[in-house]
Amino acid sequence: MQYDPANPLIVQSDRTILLDTHAAAADKARAALIPFAELERSPEHLHTYRLTPLSIWNASSAGFSPEHISDTLERFSRYPIPPVIPAWIRETAGRFGKLRIIYRDENLYLVTAVLPIFREIEASKGMSGYLRPEPSITGQDGTELYVFALPLIYRGVVKQELLKLGWPVWDEAPLVPGDPLELALLEERRSGGPFIIRDYQRNAAEALVGDMRPGSGFGTIVLPCGAGKTIVGMYIMSLLKTNTLILTTNVSAVHQWMAELLDKTTLTEEDIGEYTGESKNIKPVTVATYQVITWRPDKDSPFPHFQLFRERAWGLIIYDEVHLLPAPVFRVTAELQAVRRVGLTATLVREDGNEGYVFSLVGPKRFDVPWKDLELSGWIAAAECVEIRVDLAPDREIAYATANLRQKHRIASENPAKTGIVTELVRMHPEDRILIIGQYLNQLEELAELLSAPIITGKTPNSVRDGIYASFRRGEIQTLVVSKVANFAIDLPDASMAIQISGTFGSRQEEAQRLGRILRPKERVSRFYTIVSRHTVEEEFAANRQKFLAEQGYAYRILHFHDIASLADAASLADAASLAETECLCRNEF
C-alpha cells in the first residue's frame, strides 16, 4: 500500500494514535476514529488517541468489524501500521460476541460455540456460584452451542465478572417493555418559543433505541456539557413511550428535569413524581437522586429505597451523569438488566476506575461526538481559560511550611490575596454572568458578603437554591457564589464566566463539570479563571488540572503576580487580563 506523508495519523505499536491537526484530512480522520479509539489528550498540534479493549468492544457492539477499524487506520496513516496492531484488533474484537446471553423457554442461558471458552468459565471459581453447565444445544445456524443456565438475578453480575476475565458478553435477551405511557415532544415550548431537536441529539437517541432488535435499547451517550443531554433523554422517552425512572445527582437537578419535562413534553404534573429526601411520590415518570437511593441508616443496613426500582413496571431507566453512578447502585443495575437503560455523561472517566462497570451494566457507548464539531456549529460556547498565580503573604508562609498536607491545601486555598483578584475580575467584566466556585465555606461567605452576592452551599435549603438559580437565569443576579453543590447537573445557560478559587484540582470530573457550567451556547466567548497560590501544593494539583484541560484541547496561559501589593493597582490586573484576551488565551481548540 502506498502511504501518503500528508496523511494525518501516526499509528504506534503501543496502540497510541497521533493525529496531526494541521493535516488536510484531520477532521475526517478524527470523525472516523471516534467509534473505536479513546481521545486521551488534544493540545494544539498533535492529538493522542488510544486503542483499548473497551474502545474496541464499544465499536464491536455498534457493528464495526475489525477489518473496518484496520482499514480506517490504513486509509489515514502516514506510515505503515505496525503489524501487531491489526492482529491485536482482530483478537480483541473477536472476544466480543463469543459469549452471548439468550432467552429460551422463559429462561436465560449463557452460550458459546467455542469449547475452550466454555471450559475456561466452567473452571473459574469466581463463576461457579452463578452458572450451571447444561447439555449443549443446536443454534439457529446449526452450530453446536455450549450452555450455562443463568439465573435471572445474576444476569448483570455475570456480565460484570466476565468482563474482568476479558470476555465481554453480547446480551441478546429481550428487554421488558414496561407499562405504556403516552407522551410526545412539543413543537412549541410551554414557556414560549419553538422547540427543535438538533440533528446530533436525534442521532444520539436513535443510536440508543436502535431498531428494537435484541442487543439494542441500552447503552451510554457521551455529549459535552451544554450540548443538551436532558433533551436526548426526553427524546428517548418519546420514542419508547413507557414508564421511566430518572436518576440524577441532586434535588436541584431533579427539579430541572421536572421543569424540562413539563416545558417540552405533553406530560402533566400528574404524570411526574419527585423521589427525594423532601418528597417521595412515585408516578409514571419519577425523578430521584442518587443520594436518596443510596441512603441507609448505617453501613450494615440494607438500602431501603432500592425498592423504588421495583415499585412500577419501568420500561426505561435514565442514569444522568452516569460517570457519578454511586458504587451501591451498581448492585441494582446488575439486577435490572431486563430494563431499557441509558447513561448520559460528558465524560466516561470515573475516578474509581469502574468504566467497565458502566459498559457491562448500563451498556456500551452508543454515541459520541467531537466537542470541536459542536463548538464550530455554535452548539457549545468557545472558552478562554486563564490561571492566575499569587504569592502567600509572609505571615502565612511559616504556617504553611510546618503544616501537614491537608492543612497545606487549605492554607493555600484560603489565601486572602485571592479575594482582591476575584473582586477585580468581577469589576472588569460587568457584562458577564459570573459563577464564583470554591470549596471552603468561610472563604465563600466572605466573598459573598464583599460582593453582595447570594451564596449557595450544601446547607442552603433546596427551595432557596431553586429560587436563586431562577433569579440568576432571569438576569436578576449578575454574580453567584457556589460551593461544590453546583458542580453537577445544574443548568445555568447564561453563565459566561467562572472564577475557581479553590477545589480538589486533582479531580478530572470536577474540572470538566466546572468548566461545563459556562459552555452553554451563547454569543460571547466564555471565560474560566482559576486562582492558585504559588509555590504551594495548589500548583501540584493545578498541574493535574492543566493536564486534563490539555487532554480536552484547551490551551491556556498562566499569569504570575510576584508582588501582592501590585494587585491594588486595578490597571495592572486589567492590563494583564486584556493582554490575555487579545492573545486569545486558552481558546477552546478541541
Taking the C-alpha atoms of residue 61 and residue 97, their distance in angstroms, rounded to an integer, is: 9
Question: In a 10 Å sphere around its CB, with 0-12 CB exposed, 13-18 middle and 19+ buried, how is residue 442 labelled?
Answer: exposed
For each of the chain's 590 residues, which pLDDT tens digit applies? 667 889 999 999 999 999 998 999 998 998 899 889 988 777 778 889 999 999 999 899 888 999 999 999 999 999 999 999 999 999 999 999 899 999 888 899 999 999 999 999 999 988 988 999 999 998 888 899 999 999 988 888 899 899 989 999 998 888 888 999 999 999 999 999 999 999 999 999 998 897 656 667 899 998 877 788 999 999 999 999 999 999 998 888 899 899 999 999 999 999 999 999 888 999 999 999 998 888 888 887 888 888 898 889 999 999 998 887 887 888 788 778 889 999 998 777 666 667 788 888 888 888 887 666 777 777 776 777 788 888 888 888 889 999 998 899 899 999 998 998 899 889 888 888 898 988 899 999 999 999 999 999 888 888 888 889 889 888 899 999 998 776 554 666 678 888 989 876 555 555 556 565 565 555 667 788 889 898 898 887 776 666 666 665 555 677 765 433 443 443 344 444 443 333 333 333 32
8-state DSSP, 372 = H
Taking the C-alpha atoms of residue 221 and residue 209, their distance in angstroms, rounded to an integer, is: 11
Amino acid identity, residue 243?
N
Is the C-alpha dihedral spanning 82, 83, 84, 85 positive or negative? positive
Same CATH fold, 376-582 and 199-369? yes
Tens of pLDDT, residue by residue over 309-352, are 888 999 999 999 888 788 788 878 877 888 999 999 877 766 66
Size of the chain in residues: 590
Helix or strand run (H / E) with residue 428 = helix 417-428
Residue spans of the domains in the chain: they are: 9-95, 99-171, 199-369, 376-582
The answer to whether residues 536 and 392 touch, using CB atoms and an 8 Å cutoff, is yes
Torsion of CA 422, 426, 428, 432, to 10 degrees: 140
Spatial CB neighbours of 319, under 8 Å, sequence gap ≥ 6 = 247, 325, 333, 341, 342, 343, 344, 362
Q: In the prediction, which pLDDT does 515 show?
A: 61
Query: Alpha carbon of 307 to those of 20, 275, 277, 289, 332: distances in Å?
Result: 51, 12, 15, 14, 10
Radius of gyration of the chain (CA): 26
pTM, full prediction? 0.76
Spatial CB neighbours of 231, under 8 Å, sequence gap ≥ 6 = 197, 198, 201, 260, 264
Question: In a 10 Å sphere around its CB, with 0-12 CB exposed, 13-18 middle and 19+ buried, how is residue 527 labelled?
Answer: buried
Strand arrangement, sheet containing 107-112: 132-138, 144-150, 107-112, 99-104, 169-171
Query: Alpha carbon of 286 to those of 244, 266, 276: distances in Å?
Result: 7, 15, 10
E strand map for 419-490: 434-437, 455-456, 479-482
Taking the C-alpha atoms of residue 345 and residue 331, their distance in angstroms, rounded to an integer, is: 20
Taking the C-alpha atoms of residue 460 and residue 440, their distance in angstroms, rounded to an integer, is: 15
Q: Write down the mean pLDDT value for the chain.
A: 84
In the 3-class helix/strand/coil scheme, how is 137-206 assigned residue by residue?
A: EECCCCCEEEEEEECHHHHHHHHHHHHHCCCCEEECCCCECCCECCCCECCECCCCCECCCCHHHHHHHH
Which class is domain 376-582?
alpha beta
83-121 burial: b if 16+ Cβ within 10 Å, else e: eebbebbeebbebbbebbbbbeeeebbbbbbeeebbeeb
**Cα angle at 286 between 284 and 292, to 5 degrees?**
150
Q: In the prediction, which pLDDT does 275 show?
A: 94
**Please, what is the end-to-end C-alpha distance for the chain in angstroms?**
31
Which listed CATH number (3.40.50.300, 1.10.3720.10, 3.40.50.150, 3.40.50.12590) goes with 199-369? 3.40.50.300
Strands 9-11 and 16-20 turn out to be: antiparallel
Taking the C-alpha atoms of residue 445 and residue 452, their distance in angstroms, rounded to an integer, is: 10
Candidates 320, 328, 375, 365; CA nearest to 345 is 320
Crossing angle between the packed helical segments 251-264 and 462-473, to the nearest 10 degrees: 50
Torsion of CA 4, 6, 7, 11, to 10 degrees: 90
